[in-house]
Amino acid sequence: MKEKCGIFAAFSKSKADIIPLVAIGLRGLQHRGQEAWGIATPTMYPFKQTGLVSDNLEQSALVLQQMKNSAAIGHVRYSTAGGSSIKNAQPLSINKKFCIAHNGTICDLNSFVETSHGKTTRRINDTSIVGKKLLFILKQNKFDWFKSIELLCEELVGAYCFVILTSNKEIYAFRDTRGFRPLCIGWHKKSKSYLISSESCAFSMLGAELIRDIKPGEIVKISKTGIESRSFSKGERTAHCSFEYIYFSHPSSVIDKTSVYDARRKLGMSLAELYDDIKGDVVIPVPDSARPAALGFSEKSGIPMVEGLMKDRYGKRGSLRSFIQPKYKERLKINRWIIPVRSAVEGKNVIVIDDSIVRGISSQAIVKTLRQVGAKTVKILVTFPPIRHPCRAGIDFPTHDELIAYKTTGKNADIATINNKVGKSVNADFVGYNNVDLLSKAIGKKPSELCLSCHTGEYGVLNRNLPSPIQIK
């Protein structure tokens, strides 16, 4: 079971009502999950809704006003398993002892399915299973939270960030030792509140300040006494998710001291260097995540960037992201809301900059759309290397069969073959992928500091007990 979501928490030292802050913070993380959202306080059962935070505003506002509190945690959900029903929305209450919310995926839950006291845990989602396991450990250790969380993490394998709200208004946040998923601490001056968020972009919406990232393998406690911290890391290599930088995170976010916007702009520049023989009349981004990369490509190549594709931001689904929609039909619906600008592309040789090609559904639709409005040629350059393997760390491409780079070429083809085969499959005149060296350089981290398993098929980084990646055959 896998989750790729957004988590947010707030604690006010001045005892101000922070529920509005959490609601706005979750809206700032809406790009990370659009299926459901929820908020929990120490005194009320979690309030949860399906859809967007902005949906059913009147009903939500009435409940949120009643939740007035100086401490709370929140969650926006994007599931890849477990279903989209309200029962799987988070945060979750664990036997009324604490509330928990999770971003990431736990790779092996076999040891968690059967609890230590012999009762079977019904597998609803990994957050529920981990929460019940933590409660069991807490009882064994007299509710020593730091010790219990550390013992829990010794058993967890995978990519995860958690926030926990206790019944006595303490917030705990922790991040796996590899640092797959982002998690950071902020400060809201007006309410004198400490904030926890999956991304710093949520702080920007609140006018709050980014203090720092939570380190891989760090537990942070926020209470009336301030911030306490403990590390359970054994000094393992990091494995920051490279997909966060090229697609999933908001461009305004700063993750582990790297500006997402700057990384994407540099990725576009790297494509201009790698494919300096590719000529065109205009450069257009696939909206919206590829816009900084297209700008970088334009600056480096000298080819003007134009807005040749627009999203309908007024339709019900127009502003949503096709990649994270859970069903194939929903992905197709999103693609229909991408509108070409005829005057920008008609009669021109068009270079399309995209962040990634996963299934090829969007690429096929975009090529078809551009040709229909008169584009002379359509060439696609991609900031991310070929995705040929399933993600085991929470991104929604769980099988080889749905990955176009694997379906068309298998696992051992060279880059020229992949470019050619994928290009033909999506009906483009040319497709060109980035490589690992240029990707890592743009992000500002070594390849050994990133998780690239969806490209390489090496999953050893998921297990902190393994010193080096293992090739899965």
How buried is residue 167: exposed, middle or buried, by Cβ count under 10 Å (0-12/13-18/19+)? exposed
Strand ranges, E, within 316-373: 338-340, 349-354
Structure confidence at residue 48 (pLDDT): 95
User: Is the pLDDT at 24 greater than 70, yes or no?
Assistant: yes
Confidence of residue 429 (pLDDT cuts 50, 70, 90): very high
As a whole number of angstroms, the distance between CA 73 and CA 196 comes to: 9
Q: What percent of the chain has pLDDT over 70?
A: 86
Structure confidence at residue 120 (pLDDT): 47
Q: Which residue has the tokens 């696939």?
A: 286
Respond yes or no on whether the N-terminal peptide bond of residue 292 is cis (omega within 30° of 0).
Answer: no
- Mean pLDDT of the 169-177 span: 97
Instruction: Give the DSSP H/E element, type plus range, for residue 218.
Output: strand 218-223
The distance of Cα 288 from the centroid of its chain, to the nearest Å, equals 15
Confidence of residue 338 (pLDDT cuts 50, 70, 90): confident
Considering 78-87, 231-240, 355-364, the range whose residues carry the highest mean pLDDT is: 355-364
CA distances from 369 to 107, 282, 315, 408, 430 (A): 39, 16, 19, 23, 16
User: Is the pLDDT at 232 greater than 80, yes or no?
Assistant: yes
Q: Which residues share a beta bridge with 311?
A: 338
Confidence of residue 336 (pLDDT cuts 50, 70, 90): low
AA identity, residue 17: D
As a whole number of angstroms, the distance between CA 389 and CA 391 comes to: 7
Strand ranges, E, within 41-188: 47-50, 71-77, 92-94, 98-106, 158-166, 171-175, 184-188
Distant-in-sequence, close-in-space partners of 318: CB < 8 Å, separation ≥ 6: 311, 312, 337
Structure confidence at residue 108 (pLDDT): 65
Confidence of residue 381 (pLDDT cuts 50, 70, 90): very high
In this structure, what token pair is assigned to residue 457?
Answer: 């098929």
User: Is the pLDDT at 325 greater than 60, yes or no?
Assistant: no
As a whole number of angstroms, the distance between CA 5 and CA 101 comes to: 9
The distance of Cα 405 from the centroid of its chain, to the nearest Å, equals 22
Tens of pLDDT along 40-59?
999 889 999 999 998 877 88
* Cβ–Cβ < 8 Å for 197, 184: yes
CATH code at 2-236: 3.60.20.10
Distant-in-sequence, close-in-space partners of 13: CB < 8 Å, separation ≥ 6: 192, 193, 194, 224, 226
Nearest one of 185, 189, 229 to 210, comparing CA atoms: 185
- Mean pLDDT of the 277-288 span: 95
* CA-based torsion, 66, 72, 76, 81: positive or negative: negative
Q: In the chain, where are the structural domains located?
A: 2-236, 252-450
DSSP 244-303: IIIIIS-TT-EETTEEHHHHHHHHHHHHHHHTTT---SEEEEPTTTTHHHHHHHHHHH-P
As a whole number of angstroms, the distance between CA 207 and CA 250 comes to: 16
User: Is the pLDDT at 1 greater than 50, yes or no?
Assistant: no
Structure confidence at residue 437 (pLDDT): 97
Structure confidence at residue 57 (pLDDT): 77
Q: What percent of the chain has pLDDT over 90?
A: 73
At 221, give phi and psi (nearest 5°). -110, 130
As a whole number of angstroms, the distance between CA 235 and CA 218 comes to: 11
Check if 99 is active-site.
no
User: Is the pLDDT at 330 greater than 80, yes or no?
Assistant: no
- Pairing relationship of beta strands 282-285 and 240-241 according to DSSP bridges: unpaired
As a whole number of angstroms, the distance between CA 39 and CA 24 comes to: 11
Structure confidence at residue 4 (pLDDT): 64
Of 5, 161, 391, 451, the catalytic one is 5
* Cβ–Cβ < 8 Å for 194, 209: no
DSSP 135-151: HHHHHHTTT-HHHHHHH
* Cβ–Cβ < 8 Å for 158, 174: no
Structure confidence at residue 331 (pLDDT): 46
- Mean pLDDT of the 192-199 span: 98
User: Is the pLDDT at 125 greater than 70, yes or no?
Assistant: yes
Instruction: Give the DSSP H/E element, type plus range, for residue 133.
Output: helix 126-140
Structure confidence at residue 317 (pLDDT): 44
Fold classification of 252-450 is Rossmann fold (3.40.50)
Q: How many CB atoms lie within 10 A of CB 118?
A: 6
As a whole number of angstroms, the distance between CA 179 and CA 450 comes to: 9
Confidence of residue 315 (pLDDT cuts 50, 70, 90): low
Nearest one of 14, 25, 7, 64 to 41, comparing CA atoms: 64
- Mean pLDDT of the 323-340 span: 57
User: Is the pLDDT at 471 greater than 60, yes or no?
Assistant: no
* Cβ–Cβ < 8 Å for 283, 301: yes
As a whole number of angstroms, the distance between CA 232 and CA 253 comes to: 26
Structure confidence at residue 160 (pLDDT): 93
Tens of pLDDT along 63-99?
999 999 999 999 999 864 445 568 789 999 999 999 9
